[in-house]
Structure 1
C-alpha cells in the first residue's frame, strides 16, 4: 500500500498532505479526502481512517482498498504556520479544500469533515463545487451559537469545583494556568474522547494545537469568542443535493439534539449514532466507524 507525502502551494505558503493508497486510484473509485477539526488541530487524531486503504482491512466489502487523503490545514501540523492573523478566516480554509483537490487531481472525490471540518465543508458544498460524490459530516456543526449553548450546558454539569476553576480562570484571562487546563480536561474526557488513556495519535494532535488559529476562529468550546461566534448555515441545509452521511457519538459534545435537526433538514441524509463514543468516534470505535463509512461510500458508488 503506497503512502506518500508532499505539499501544495497555497496563498504564498504550503499545505502538507498525505496520500494513503494510489492516485489516480487503480479501481477508478473516488478517493476519500479528510478535512480535520480544530481549528488549529492537525489531522493526526483521524489516522484510524487510513485503514480504509488496506486491501482486506476492517470496513472492506471485498473491493480493493480505498485511497484516503489527509492534509493539515494551513497554520497547524506539518503545514506552514505563518504569523498572519488575516489568514484565519473561513474563506481561507474553504479555498484550501479546492487547492488540495486541484493539486492532487481529485476531480471526483468523497469528502469527510470532522467537527470544525464539517463547517468548512458545509461552506464549501453550499458554493456548489463539481465532482463531489458524497459528503460525510462527522460530529457536525451547522449553528455555532446553538453548539456553544449546548457546550455551556455540558460544562455547567461538571462538578462545582471544576466549574469554578474554569469560570475563574476565564474571567481573569489565565487560561494558560495548569489548574484551568486540568479542569478543561474534565470536560474533554467526558465529551471529547472517553478512552483511558487517550490513544497516542489523539494526544499528538492535542499537544500540537495552534492556539492562535483556534482563538481567532473559535475559542473555548463553551464560550465561542472568535470570528465564527455567529456562524449559522442551518437554514441552508436543504440546498445539499448529494448523498450525505452524518455521524456522531452518544456522549458527543455535539449532542444528538443538535444533529437530529440537521439529519432531518438534509434531503435523504442518513445519521448513525455511535453508542460507545463521544466526539472522536473514529478513534473510540475505529473498526465500527470504518465499517459504517465503507458501506456508505460503496453504496453511493453503486447508486
Structure 2
C-alpha cells in the first residue's frame, strides 16, 4: 500500500519581506503516526528546491517515517523574493530561513520531529538546532560546513584536482566577470560531475533543482554569489562555529568520499557537537541519496529508528 502524499502551503508572516509569504510543502506518510517521528528535510542551495530529496520516501516505505519536504521562500513553488534582490544582509541572512522553519513546524502542529539539513540546509539548520528548539529529537547534518571559509577552502582544494585548462577557464571568467558564459558553465559541469553527483546521466530530480537556479537565481546570487568557489554575497563571512556546542540532541554526520563537503569542512561538527556520529559513503559525492541510495537509506533509517 502506497503511503499518503499531500501538498499544502503555510502562510509565513515576515514583515521585512514587504509582502505576505507562503511556504510550499509536501508530506509523505502520516504525521500523526504514533510509531515514527517525522523527518523535516532542509534543502540545499540556497534556492534549489525540494525535488532532489524525493528518494527519502524510501524511509516512509521501509520504516514508516513521515517525510516533510518544503521549498524555502525565494524558490520553487514558495513565494518568490525578486522584490528583495537589492536588499542587504539585514534581510538576506539565516534568520529568515530559521524563522520559516519554525513557522512550518507550528503550521504542521509538530511537537516531536527530526531534522535533516543538506548542504546550505545544514548551515541554517545548525543555527536552528543550536537554539535547542522544543520538539527536536534528532538532527542529521549532510554534506555541509559550519562556516563559509571552511566550505571555500574545501572547494579550492577540489578545484586544484581538475585539468589545468579547466582551472584556467574558471579563473579567467571569474576575473572577467563572465561567470554566466557557456565556457564557465561547461567548466562547472565538469566540476559537478565529479563532486556534486557522479552518476551518468545525472538524475532528473537534480537537474530539476539546478533549473530552478537558472529560472530564478535571486536567493543564490544574493546570498552566495556566481559559483560554489566565488562567494560575494551576504553569506561571505557566515559561521556557526561558536554555537555548535549548543546542539544538544543526538546528531548524525553524513558525507561522501568525493563530496564538495570534504572531511576538512565537516570535521568541526565532529569535534564541537557533544553527541555525534559520522558515516561516510565511499562511492558518493554530494548526493549520496542517489549515488548509494540503498546503503544511505539503511544508515539513515536505522539511526532514526533508534530510541
Scaled to the shorter chain, the TM-score interval is: over 0.9
1:28-177 correspondence to structure 2 within 5 Å? 28-54=35-61, 57=62, 60=63, 65-83=64-82, 84-85=84-85, 86=87, 87-177=91-181
Q: Extract unaligned runs of 5+ from structure 1.
A: none
| Stretches of 4+ aligned residues off by more than 4 angstroms | none
**What corresponds to 2:17 in structure 1?**
none
Corresponding residue for residue 11 of structure 2 = 9
- CA deviations 1:71-95 (Å, max 9, x no partner) are 0000111111132234532111110
Q: Distance in 1 between matches of 2:127 and 2:276?
A: 17
**Residue 215 (structure 1) aligned with residue 221 (structure 2):** yes
Number of residue equivalences? 291
1:207-232: CA deviations, max 9, x gaps? 11131110111122112211111111
SS in 1 for 2:98: helix
Q: Distance in 2 between matches of 1:291 and 1:229?
A: 36
Aligned to 2:68, the other structure's residue is in SS state strand
Please name the residue that 1:244 is paired with: 251
Between 186-195 and 234-243, the greater mean CA deviation after superposition = 234-243
- After superposition, the CA RMSD in angstroms is 1.3
Supply the distance in 2 between the matched residues of 1:92 and 1:160 (Cα, whole angstroms).
Answer: 40
C-alpha distance in structure 2 between counterparts of 1:116 and 1:123, whole Å: 11
On the 8 A contact 2:43/2:49 being kept in 1, the answer is yes
Tell me the distance in 2 between the aligned counterparts of 1:110 and 1:234.
Answer: 22
Task: Rate the CA distance shift 1:88–1:261 in 2: closer, same or farther, 3 A.
Answer: closer
In the other structure, the counterpart of 1:224 is 231
User: How much has 1:190 moved relative to structure 2?
Assistant: 0.8
Matched, 1:18 2:26: yes
Q: Tell me by how many angstroms 1:170 deviates.
A: 1.4
TM-score (ref. length: structure 2): 0.91
Of residues 228, 233, 239, the one that matches 2:240 is 233
State the alpha-carbon separation in 2 of the partners of residues 241 and 126 from structure 1. 8
SS at match of 2:206: helix
Structure 2 stretches lacking a partner, 5+ long: 14-19
Tell me the distance in 1 between the aligned counterparts of 2:168 and 2:144: 29
| TM-score between the two structures when normalised by the length of structure 1 | 0.93
The answer (yes or no) to whether the contact 2:132–2:246 under 8 Å persists in 1 is no
